[in-house]
Structure 1
Amino acid sequence: MGILNSSAGPTRIPTKFLLTYRMISRAIVLLLVLLGCQSSPPFVHNGPKLKGVNLVAPRQQPGPESLETVRETGGEWVAVVPYGFCRKNEPHFYFSGNMGDRGKWQWWGETPTGVAETIRMARQQGLKVMLKPHVWMQGGSHLDLTFDRETDWQTFEADYRQYVLHFAHLADSLGVDLYCITTELDRFAVARPDFWKQLIRDVKTIYKGKLTYAANWDRYEQIPFWNELDYVGVDAYFPLSDKQDPSVNTLISSWRPHLRQLRAFSYRLQKSVLFTEFGYRSCTFSTQRPWESETDCSTNETAQANAYAALLEAVWPQPWFAGGFVWKWFMTDAHKVRERDQFSPQGKSAQVVLRKNWQ
């Protein structure tokens, strides 16, 4: 049917057809709007979620039973964390592979022997392993590592490249399940993207497993090389509440804006988000600034347990979420270090919450 009739003037269109036409037009407009808003398709993590803990390197070699409690709590992964060292504003980087006799002061769990043996012990317990190198900076924060001179950058990068590739060889030789190429060097990552992209290519020639990087909670969107990795790794110390002892429901509500941002980032990159670290101190105000470890602490196990419960309820079921690693877990009770560390959930209400959810 023509809309215009050249000989008899306009054709009258029945009302019911006009209404149908308008409804179809509006539906098309609405669909186009929705498609415009949903610029990235949803993403769903494929496979079981990683239930892990970050191990604290022990001073002396522990017994084979030292990882049994990880399994008893429902954990299936451990992160082994070999530290390297530098000083603020100095371009040299030191680690077990280039210290020689100077490395004898390191704790057993930080030495090449200790790292390798810890991985073997985890295997014996049926645990999977993430190897996660970490920089310890004396006199400053590794988060803000930077240099003014190009020559200093090049000196540091040469040393640091040896460090990452040294443990890539170890990860490959021991069949490590996941290699986190480093932890929270976000300013370095943003300032020197070409170095990192080449380093990742070099790692891939050595190690054939999955790769991630541990970005700080407030900088993960700035990291320029996620497309080269398998997971978006986030050290998840998101601020949640200024209250002294917030309830689980309050904390769940506080997670919502962070979850929207994480979900959008996962959709945009089409990658799973992995919490390479998550944890809270057993202190009042533990969710106000969860990254802090040196501030005064009034002991409060309930505050820590509530924070764990909220994360496990709000974050863990998200379809784009790959799981996470508790910060932190001791292999030994020697010198009662564990009792003095508020971040550890071991022997506290938070471990009960973790066991209930993970098992």
Structure 2
Amino acid sequence: PLIVCGDECTFFNILPDNVTLWFSSYGEIIQNLSTIAQILNIDALSVGLELFHLSDKEYVSYWRSLIENIRQGGYTGLLTYCSIFYPVETQQIQFWDILDFIGMDFYLPLLNITTQTIIPSYEHMIDRFSRYFQHFKQWIDSQPLNTSSKQVILTETGYPSSLGGLAAPFANLPSRCVGNYSANFTLQNMAFEAFFQAMKDNPGIINGSIIFWWENPSTRDFDRNGNLSVWPCSWSPHGKPAECTIATAFGGKCPSSNDSRSTIFIHQNSNVAITIIIAILLTIIRL
């Protein structure tokens, strides 16, 4: 669930005064969502999204109780938590052992725009992705078997179509596509090509990925025909060359120019035996 907590609040900065009361309220909402997910035969459910200040070891008991309640409530699908990419949040979580797979939202930069003046090459991007994957592998290999044996799914992956977007793919969209955020469809496409190639070059680390920000209704790039001031440099690959790259990586065909459907792709390595369908549920909580 994505928590929308007010204009001056961001979900990864949430740290309530009364943590016990907060988890009690949040737990009720998650329990209700898990009931709905069971009725709809949803295969997987995330119990949280980037709650950075609430996911460290101090609050492990709350998460374990919440997850146990979901199981006892009758939800039979897979459970995960969508963590901010390693090494920001993923490694601080100490309840991976009772979840079904490790979820990691992957928005890591491909260049430092303040020190690098040369646009990165395709080979440079592959190398950058590979180093990220290998760095993560060092951590997960050091974990107990009840964690290191888990499959790893990138629960969000995306790169905006601009130089600035490659430098800070986690940042908010600008109001207009100018300067370092001038539209560059080629760079976005290169980033996705390099991403998929790096996954092939580093097998057994990342077991799947969800390509996110596909004209997401919660963002200003939702309608490419209605918001041309943002869409050209946004995360959305819809209607851009990257759309064909993504479709091909998933074993599909390049969509026609007339295809205006919004889609979320889930990429999996060939050695993954399970298919994971993620339900993206929007929850509004006023704190």
Q: Shared fold by TM > 0.5?
A: yes
Opposite residue 200 of structure 1, the aligned amino acid is I
RMSD across aligned C-alpha pairs, in angstroms? Answer: 2.1
Could you tell me how far apart the structure 2 residues matched to 1:335 and 1:287 are?
20
Alpha-carbon distance between aligned partners in 2 of 1:352 and 1:135, rounded to the nearest angstrom = 32
Compute the displacement of 1:280 (Å). Answer: 0.7
SS at 1:336's partner residue?
A: coil
Q: Figure out how many residues of one structure are paired with residues of the other and give that number.
A: 224
Q: What does 1:100-115 align with in structure 2 at a 5 Å threshold?
A: none
For the residues of structure 1 that align with 2:214 and 2:128, how far apart are their CA atoms? 26
Against the structure 1 CA distance between its residues 237 and 157, is the aligned structure 2 distance closer, same or farther, given a 3 Å change threshold? same
Residue 330 of structure 1 and its aligned partner are, at CA, apart by: 3.4
- Determine if the alignment matches structure 1 residue 344 to structure 2 residue 236: yes
Correspondences of 1:238-317 after superposition (within 5 Å): 238-242=108-112, 243=116, 245-267=119-141, 268=143, 269-295=148-174, 297-316=181-200
In the TM superposition, residue 334 of structure 1 has moved relative to its aligned partner by 5.6
Deviations 1:130-177 (A, max 9, x none): xxx111232122112113x4xx22222222111111110011111111
Cα shift at 1:337: 5.0
Whether 2:77 is the aligned partner of 1:209: answer yes
**Mapped contact 2:188–2:242 kept (Cα < 8 A):** yes
2:67 is aligned with 1:200: yes
* Structure 2 residue identity aligned to 1:222: Q
Amino acid aligned to 2:100:
D
Determine if contact 1:246/1:306 at 8 Å carries over to the other structure.
no
| Aligned counterparts of 2:205 and 2:227: Cα–Cα separation in 1 | 33
Evaluate the alpha carbon distance shift between residue 270 and residue 142 of structure 1 in structure 2; reply closer, same or farther with a 3 A threshold: same
For structure 1, the 5+ residue unaligned runs are: 1-132
**Radius of gyration: which is bigger?**
1
Structure 1 stretch displaced more, 137-146 or 160-169: 137-146
Q: Helix, strand or coil: the match of 2:166?
A: coil
Structural mapping, 1:120-139, within 5 Å: 133-138=1-6, 139=8
**Aligned partner of residue 102 in structure 2, secondary structure:** strand
Q: Offset at 1:204?
A: 1.2
- Give the Cα separation in 2 of the matches to 1:227 and 1:169: 23
Aligned residue for 1:324, secondary structure, equals: strand
**AA in 2 matched with 1:187:** H
Change (3 A) 1:351 1:338: farther
In 2, distance between residues paired with 1:158 and 1:283?
42
1:166 matched to 2:58? The reply is: no
CA distance in 2, matches of 1:265, 1:235: 16
Q: Which moved more, 1:332-341 or 1:304-313?
A: 332-341
Fraction of identical pairs, as percent? 23
Name the residue aligned to 2:11: 142
Q: Which amino acid aligns with 2:188?
A: Q
1:234 matched to 2:104? yes
Higher relative helix content: 1
Structure 1 residue identity aligned to 2:69: D
Partner of 1:323: 208
What is the TM-score of this pair, normalised by structure 2? Answer: 0.72
Equivalent-residue separation in structure 1 for 2:29 and 2:53 (angstroms)? 18
Give the CA deviation at 1:315: 2.2
TM-score, structure 1 length as denominator?
A: 0.58
Q: Distance in 2 between matches of 1:272 and 1:310?
A: 22
Instruction: Specify the alignment match of 1:223 in structure 2.
Output: 93
For structure 2, list consecutive stretches of 5 or more residues without a partner in the other structure: 252-287
TM-superposed CA distance for 1:331, in Å, is 7.8
CA contact 1:245–1:302 (8 Å) conserved in 2:
no
Instruction: Tell me how far 1:293 sits from its aligned partner.
Output: 2.0
Q: Is the 8 A contact 1:215 1:235 kept in 2?
A: yes
Within 5 Å, give how 1:21-36 maps onto structure 2.
none
3-state DSSP of counterpart to 2:225: helix
